[in-house]
Structure 1
């Protein structure tokens, strides 16, 4: 099953067996009725041949038998159309349900995968799998009902009927069908490979479009609009070239097997006429056989056209299952966090977040006691952000241990801890302040859904953002735009800080999360947090990644990160007197 990703998607139908079976029964009835119509037409022709359809009598022509056949065929056609309409609606409903299930699973899996996976794969790649790839799989499986399933029924019923008329009448079409389908199937792998290349080209288009929209300020600032447009056109042209290559291949290879299958017409007509001439088969039976084989050939030709869709869907299904089969590196433990205040202890840890063997942190040890504020300073690229991501297990360590707890309650490895509880009580606020396209209040309530308006205002005040409400026309109900575009960088950072304070965490990590604030506003926010934590039953532990002297001076203690480990630590005054690395980083 793992080697057939499209069949794995088809297996999702097992989650809706009732609708699946009902659709199959309805479609079977539709196709049996279709062949039945053709047989009835043959019988009507047979009666016409023998003069039974319209009878001449003393009172004129008797059309009652003809009207009987007309009403019978019309009634059967109306019933078949009604059932087919219902089956079509059901198959579309199943297809949409399948699409919903696939997209839900992809989104859930994306949330489960660690940051390293997202660093290796771009946003465009993930979006393509949820949109284009999922749509192609849905379309293929809807066509499965209309083409593969129905055609399979038609083939079985039609060849069975032809066999009843004459085994030779059925044998040659069966051979031609087998040859044609084998030739069509032999092209499937090539078409899958071609569509895989189309999918990769489409990934590049999506990624470039995403970057062009998200980076519009940089593009405008450096007047890069024309260059970015040329780059985007290049990706689109590459996508078009790959699509044209697939179309050219299909147009060259698919017509031949379709022609071979169409020879069934000639055989049934010629051999049927010979049988009529020799009196072994009636004219009505030949007419019915021609109608049946005509339907058969048209359906098989439809499979030829469907082959491209199936090939596309196989490639798309493979790309979807690449995401769904990816094993999350980070799995939740089962132990609850220690009771009481929480601190941080890093013991001889090493980390290579991209899994490429490039170790960013090596043999690093650091301890932060509950309630302590520690500033972490280091050169650009020294691994400060990676270190902060290790605490809530956004990234996994290679060696050593990350522990939370205290000397009194004991220390616990985060790998053994329940992941939901860990991330609820250990919060990392990154430098990139992300806000959702919603109201200010909705963004603040992400971590505290039931927070009152008074609590929201208090959190904004503690984050030194109280005056922000006075500048917004609709206050807390103001929509902040995509990624908080209506707010300045400093305002976004303070709103994110307020959101983190509403979460009521035990350990708050600021990864350069106040870099857009001036020194006075930053000092006011940190002082507010100090005052806030003094009134808590559990002291708030803070680790602040600092790139400015003003930030480092706020902390109780400073740790200097260099060469992948802590090379110095102490009070700001002690390091200013005794650490050349600290003085160089702080510009002293």
Structure 2
């Protein structure tokens, strides 16, 4: 899996490699004490169950030998031995219910812990995988693995312990057999079953309310997951993977708390009706013994009745469809490990860029983003000096956005080199640089302006958590977005809605630009990131950014992808991209005068 979370063990090799569900089960190795305690308690429960059957056998044996109920010399019956067995069996049933309650809680606890580990690993892996992988697989696939598949695996692994089966038919058969021997032998167990069901039904409203709270918590998980997947480019561009993963874990923890509360309530209530139903053992033994003493029931039918009622109780305690759940979970586990085993095409380096202004340099770069041998960029070479503002133009589909993705290593070049630096500090190939450090120095702002469903201030502070309100105001002013703040009734506390739905396209673009400026990047790439702005506002924002170069040791280098003449006129130099490489470059005036392709492209 590459880089695992702290404490995790690799599970992709050895005998488990070809069994996805067992690989998920092996995650329990990360919680050995809870797992061992849970296994021990379940072992005790099963031993107690066997003990009950053994004691019943002894009791029946005594009944057959005439020791369980004895006739005294005066003709009265001595039930002292029978009451001894009743007390013993009842005590064992109560003790078993208590142990089962603790085992159930622990089983649910480690099941939720496993689900949390699976989801956290998938979320971390989503951030590690490159953009090309997400383009091939899509958002829905990632969401399904995080939610439905993980839930199915969790349920299956819990049911490994509980060994649950459908019980309705077994209950009917068991009661029918008891009725066939003696009506009263079946009526009391039937009454106990109905009483147990009534106790369960009484909890229905509470369980529904708890389930609604779980649903609300799960909605928050899904919302944050959707944003984490759809906003993966923004998250990668600003190296926010760890922060977003931490936020997601908080939502998971809330969901886990609500789920555990509901499951704990169910576990607390379910043992009581189970204990009531288990009293069928006592009744069949006592009444059956009396029938044997009266000669109305043979010893063999009594033993059979005890075994039948014991089977009925076991089936009621083990409700579920284990085989189907496990079959579904195997497929789900396979899909989960397809994601977790995927190896990112982009491996982080370890080097850090020295301080100082940065430029960029591309040499003979070729890119085939979808691994389909369809090379979009080929033999591309480009130089941009520190502090220079360069406009990149070209026809649709020529690879302008691919080029911008190469700089912070959102995409990887098939061949050639992408270098960051300057003549003063040297040039460094991005493949050898630490990814987080690189993306703090090189920011790419895509045309799609992504805002999280949070407040305006929270969105701006994503790249600068310690920024003051004054810093936020200054960044908005530089991005020509100060009027956006003035129009919001709650100011920085205004919630912008899902993906900034409450704002216009131009407002979203300017807020995203302000967010990038707050990070203080040395290289700022605008990939049609001002396309929704009018010419005057766009020019004001670019001029404001240009002014940052005055008096600063680290001037901002800008690469602007655009097809608007107003944007191009603000650049120091224009680069024309065509057929996967640089076709021409120069000032706007030079290209307009001497390059027919440029004139056609710009409509002049």
Q: Answer yes or no: same fold by TM over 0.5.
A: yes
* 1:19 alignment counterpart: 34
* 1:7 alignment counterpart: 22
Unmatched segments (≥5 aa) in structure 1:
150-205, 215-281
Asked if 1 retains the 8 angstrom alpha-carbon contact of 2:478 and 2:545, the reply is yes
Write the distance in 2 (CA, Å) between the matches of 1:397 and 1:385.
Answer: 13
Query: Shift of the alpha carbon at 1:293?
Result: 11
Asked if 2 retains the 8 angstrom alpha-carbon contact of 1:437 and 1:484, the reply is yes
1:38 equivalenced with 2:53 (yes/no): yes
Query: Shift of the alpha carbon at 1:297?
Result: 12
Q: Tell me, what secondary structure is at the counterpart of 1:370?
A: coil
Write the distance in 2 (CA, Å) between the matches of 1:444 and 1:290.
Answer: 70
In structure 1, which of residues 321, 326, 329 is the aligned counterpart of residue 345 of structure 2? 329
1:391 equivalenced with 2:387 (yes/no): no
Q: Deviations over 1:399-454 (max 9, x none)?
A: 00000000111101000111110011100000000000000000000000010000
Return 415-424 or 293-302, whichever deviates more: 293-302
1:453 equivalenced with 2:469 (yes/no): yes
1:429 equivalenced with 2:429 (yes/no): no
Q: Tell me, what secondary structure is at the counterpart of 2:382?
A: strand
Write the distance in 2 (CA, Å) between the matches of 1:294 and 1:331.
Answer: 59
Asked if 2 retains the 8 angstrom alpha-carbon contact of 1:373 and 1:544, the reply is yes
In structure 2, which of residues 527, 530, 539 is the aligned counterpart of residue 523 of structure 1? 539
* 2:557 alignment counterpart: 541
Query: Shift of the alpha carbon at 1:286?
Result: 9.0
Query: Shift of the alpha carbon at 1:48?
Result: 1.4
In structure 2, which of residues 41, 44, 65 is the aligned counterpart of residue 29 of structure 1? 44
Return 330-339 or 491-500, whichever deviates more: 330-339
In structure 1, which of residues 358, 366, 373 is the aligned counterpart of residue 389 of structure 2? 373
* 2:503 alignment counterpart: 487
* 1:246 alignment counterpart: none
> With structure 1 as the length reference, what TM-score do the two structures score?
0.75
Return 398-407 or 40-49, whichever deviates more: 40-49
Write the distance in 1 (CA, Å) between the matches of 2:302 and 2:371.
Answer: 69
Asked if 2 retains the 8 angstrom alpha-carbon contact of 1:350 and 1:364, the reply is yes
In structure 2, which of residues 351, 356, 364 is the aligned counterpart of residue 348 of structure 1? 364
Pairing of 1:264-275 with structure 2 (within 5 A): none
Asked if 1 retains the 8 angstrom alpha-carbon contact of 2:421 and 2:428, the reply is yes
* 1:169 alignment counterpart: none
Query: Shift of the alpha carbon at 1:339?
Result: 2.9
Write the distance in 2 (CA, Å) between the matches of 1:484 and 1:452.
Answer: 22
Asked if 1 retains the 8 angstrom alpha-carbon contact of 2:447 and 2:530, the reply is yes
1:511 equivalenced with 2:527 (yes/no): yes
Asked if 2 retains the 8 angstrom alpha-carbon contact of 1:6 and 1:137, the reply is yes
Asked if 2 retains the 8 angstrom alpha-carbon contact of 1:425 and 1:506, the reply is yes
Asked if 2 retains the 8 angstrom alpha-carbon contact of 1:558 and 1:570, the reply is yes
Query: Shift of the alpha carbon at 1:130?
Result: 0.4
Write the distance in 2 (CA, Å) between the matches of 1:287 and 1:421.
Answer: 75
Query: Shift of the alpha carbon at 1:533?
Result: 2.6
Return 51-60 or 454-463, whichever deviates more: 51-60
Pairing of 1:144-155 with structure 2 (within 5 A): 144-147=160-163
Pairing of 1:239-250 with structure 2 (within 5 A): none
Return 316-325 or 294-303, whichever deviates more: 294-303
Q: Tell me, what secondary structure is at the counterpart of 2:549?
A: helix
Asked if 2 retains the 8 angstrom alpha-carbon contact of 1:44 and 1:284, the reply is no
Asked if 1 retains the 8 angstrom alpha-carbon contact of 2:380 and 2:580, the reply is yes
Return 95-104 or 301-310, whichever deviates more: 301-310
Q: Deviations over 1:258-309 (max 9, x none)?
A: xxxxxxxxxxxxxxxxxxxxxxxx9589928972997499779979931111
Query: Shift of the alpha carbon at 1:39?
Result: 1.2
In structure 2, which of residues 306, 328, 335 is the aligned counterpart of residue 319 of structure 1? 335
Asked if 2 retains the 8 angstrom alpha-carbon contact of 1:43 and 1:284, the reply is no
Write the distance in 1 (CA, Å) between the matches of 2:304 and 2:48.
Answer: 14
* 2:184 alignment counterpart: none
Over the aligned positions, Cα root-mean-square deviation in angstroms equals 2.5
* 1:218 alignment counterpart: none
* 2:86 alignment counterpart: 70
Asked if 1 retains the 8 angstrom alpha-carbon contact of 2:362 and 2:419, the reply is yes
Return 439-448 or 45-54, whichever deviates more: 45-54
Return 487-496 or 299-308, whichever deviates more: 299-308
Unmatched segments (≥5 aa) in structure 2:
1-15, 166-221, 231-297
Q: Deviations over 1:207-229 (max 9, x none)?
A: xxx99xx9xxxxxxxxxxxxxxx
Aligned length: 460
Write the distance in 2 (CA, Å) between the matches of 1:368 and 1:284.
Answer: 95
Q: Tell me, what secondary structure is at the counterpart of 2:321?
A: helix
1:129 equivalenced with 2:145 (yes/no): yes
Asked if 2 retains the 8 angstrom alpha-carbon contact of 1:45 and 1:284, the reply is no
